[in-house]
Chains A and B, each alone.
Chain A
Amino acid sequence: MSDIQQVENEIVEDFELFEEWEEKYQYIIELGQKLPPLAEEFKTDDRKIKGCQSSVWLHASESDGKIIFNADSDSTFVKGEIALLIQVMSGRTPEEIINAELGFIDRIGLRQHMAQTRANGLASMIKQMKLYAIGFQHKTA
């Protein structure tokens, strides 16, 4: 599996095909529509990151020293963002996740289209992923 930076670069290359915000939006919605839903049993309050305009449920599990993320949202656009983050972050070691800089979010020009509330939602999602990674790291230490 390629490293985080490589996956980020691939995403950036994909987005370079789009000139317009409209095309980026449509692509992210399509990614969101394709993201498999999270099983209802995992949609619990302790997995919920509540935002002003949308909520995210983030479930993490461990397999072979790697962390697998599954997530869902009531917003298809946020699901699209989740799909991108999962592509980058899921199946990684805790160290990789903790050290991920995630520069692709700025490079694909996504942050500029996010109002404060949504940008914060994405930020809390990333923070939660890293917290899970720290948790797993401590458990196995």
Chain B
Amino acid sequence: MSTTANPTKAFDVVNIRRDFPVLNEQPYGKRLVYFDNAATSQKPTAVIQALVDYYTRYNANVHRGVHYLSQRASDAFDSVRGKVKDFIHAADEREIIFVRGTTEGINLVASTYGRKNVKAGDEVLVSAMEHHSNIVPWQMLCEEKGATLKIIPMNDKGELILDNLEQLLNERTKIVSIVHTGNSLGTINPVKEIIKRAHAKGIPVMVDGAQAVAHGSVDVQYLDCDFFAFSAHKMLGPTGIGALYGKLHLLEEMPPYQGGGEMISHVSFDHTTYNEVPYKFEAGTPNIADVIALGAAIDYWNTLDREAATKYEQELLHYCTEKLSVVNGVRIIGNADNKASVVSFVLEGINAMDAGMYLDTKGIAVRTGQHCTEPVMTRFCIPGTIRASFMFYNTKEEIDFFVEQVEKAISFLNP
């Protein structure tokens, strides 16, 4: 493997690892090797501490109280919207809606923008590599409206085939919803190009950014996407919180999502008027603690050299791919030219779960199965894969140990 050209720029993984206390855990008395980052990332101390601080020092409901604690909680909570805006380079804070995660973000758009604009005979376009959460909400909408879900196909390398995109984008297409970085194969899609071609025909595009935000900077204005959703827990933040970005003029035209407190302006039994964007979409007491901890996660990202982190992850990806490709019985699924740090593979004649459990006995955490992308597995005619997904706190030594154990799993399970 090539080493970093400029040694002063080398990514200091030893130091970085100290920020993630869970990495010192010892499952079954073994050293933990955590390669399940595409499912959820680990959390730095700063994020954990933000949760503890909120609950121990200023827990209160936001935007209601006249007292000290409420004011403090409101200030901390409100400041995060701006942090998220900067994190994904949105133009305006009002374009950021707090949601439970990517799944809720997509459901929100399908239930509001989708319900309003998709009619019988219309089409919604997704791709062959979507997570179930970017298929099912649109399927439900299509069923309700009598519309059709159309699919951008994928080639044997796990890349989208855009040859027929012009036909797929037609006068019936009302929205495109596409994953930026696929979770099961790691493919990074040319979303900017797809958005440009959709916009040329006046079709808005939603981007599922769940994996993308953790593996490189995202700029929603550069992409020019109309909606973008991500989950905090995949980018060092807590579970149960995420954000939906939407272009302001679209959000303003959209009907509300859920009814309740916070999302209203005036309520009477005859008539209710709704609050302004983004509050119109945030009914009820928000997830205050996790929003604040999401802010801490973004602060942590800002202390990192993100370009170096992504470059380091790419090194891990290539290192693991090279080592695994020469192991007899390993077949890597997904060889896209542009890939995030995900290696999905099958072991010939061995059930993925059996192998995953073998690795677990050695302290290695991977994901096995369909990774909530059953159509991807069907496309490759496989029941599931073993997926190792890396974050910038992983090391080449861990990969050495992992590959060694994969070899042992093969000989143990396939005697």
B358 within 8 Å of A by Cβ?
yes
B211 within 8 Å of A by Cβ?
no
Known A-B contacts A25-B358, A77-B357; the reply to A53 vs B352 at CB < 8 A is yes
Q: Which of A21, A54, A78 contacts B28 (CB 8 A)?
A: A21
Q: Which of A20, A25, A75, A113 contacts B351 (CB 8 A)?
A: A75
Q: Which of A21, A26, A77 contacts B353 (CB 8 A)?
A: A77
Q: What residues of B have a CB within 8 angstroms of the CB of A62 in the complex?
A: none
Q: Which of B28, B352, B383 contacts A22 (CB 8 A)?
A: B28
Q: What residues of A have a CB within 8 angstroms of the CB of B351 in the complex?
A: 53-54, 74-77
Q: What residues of B have a CB within 8 angstroms of the CB of A26 in the complex?
A: 361, 412
A29 within 8 Å of B by Cβ?
yes
B368 within 8 Å of A by Cβ?
yes
Known A-B contacts A21-B28, A22-B28, A76-B413; the reply to A53 vs B353 at CB < 8 A is yes
Q: What's the Cα separation between A26 and B358 when bound, in Å? A: 8
Q: What residues of A have a CB within 8 angstroms of the CB of B413 in the complex?
A: 29, 76
Using CB atoms, name the residue of chain B closest to A74. B351
Interface residues on B, range: 10 to 19
Q: What residues of A have a CB within 8 angstroms of the CB of B361 in the complex?
A: 20-22, 25-26
Within 358-394 of B, Cβ neighbours of A (below 8 Å) are at 358, 361-362, 368-370, 383-384
Q: Which of B362, B384, B412 contacts A53 (CB 8 A)?
A: B384
Known A-B contacts A20-B28, A22-B361, A29-B412; the reply to A77 vs B369 at CB < 8 A is no
Q: What's the Cα separation between A101 and B368 when bound, in Å? A: 30
Using CB atoms, name the residue of chain A closest to B413. A76
Q: What residues of B have a CB within 8 angstroms of the CB of A118 in the complex?
A: 353
A52 within 8 Å of B by Cβ?
yes
Within 76-92 of A, Cβ neighbours of B (below 8 Å) are at 76-78
Chain A positions 27 through 38: 1 when the CB is less than 8 Å from some CB of chain B, otherwise 0? 001000100000
Within 333-360 of B, Cβ neighbours of A (below 8 Å) are at 351-354, 357-358
Q: What's the Cα separation between A78 and B353 when bound, in Å? A: 10
Q: Which of A25, A33, A52, A117 contacts B415 (CB 8 A)?
A: A33
Q: What's the Cα separation between A86 and B383 when bound, in Å? A: 26
Q: What residues of A have a CB within 8 angstroms of the CB of B384 in the complex?
A: 53
Chain A positions 54 through 87: 1 when the CB is less than 8 Å from some CB of chain B, otherwise 0? 1000000000000000000011111000000000
Known A-B contacts A75-B351, A76-B351; the reply to A52 vs B358 at CB < 8 A is no
Q: What residues of B have a CB within 8 angstroms of the CB of A52 in the complex?
A: 369-370
Q: What's the Cα separation between A36 and B413 when bound, in Å? A: 16
Q: What's the Cα separation between A118 and B357 when bound, in Å? A: 11
Q: What residues of A have a CB within 8 angstroms of the CB of B415 in the complex?
A: 33
Using CB atoms, name the residue of chain A closest to B363. A22
Q: What residues of A have a CB within 8 angstroms of the CB of B352 in the complex?
A: 53
> A117 CB to closest chain B CB, in angstroms?
8
Q: Is the CB of A75 within 8 A of B358?
A: no
Known A-B contacts A21-B361, A29-B412, A29-B413; the reply to A77 vs B370 at CB < 8 A is no
Using CB atoms, name the residue of chain B closest to A114. B357
Q: What residues of B have a CB within 8 angstroms of the CB of A22 in the complex?
A: 28, 361-362
Q: What residues of B have a CB within 8 angstroms of the CB of A76 in the complex?
A: 351, 354, 413
Q: What residues of A have a CB within 8 angstroms of the CB of B383 in the complex?
A: 54, 74
**Other A-B pairs beyond A25-B358, A54-B353, A74-B351, 18, CB < 8 Å:** A20-B28, A20-B361, A21-B361, A22-B28, A22-B362, A25-B361, A26-B412, A29-B412, A29-B413, A33-B415, A52-B369, A53-B352, A54-B383, A75-B351, A75-B354, A76-B354, A77-B354, A118-B353
Binding site for A on B (CB under 8 A): 28, 351-354, 357-358, 361-362, 368-370, 383-384, 412-413, 415
For this complex, 18 residue pairs linking A to B, each with C-beta atoms less than 8 Å apart, are A20-B28, A20-B361, A21-B28, A22-B361, A25-B357, A26-B361, A26-B412, A52-B370, A53-B351, A53-B369, A53-B384, A54-B353, A74-B383, A76-B351, A76-B413, A77-B353, A78-B353, A117-B369
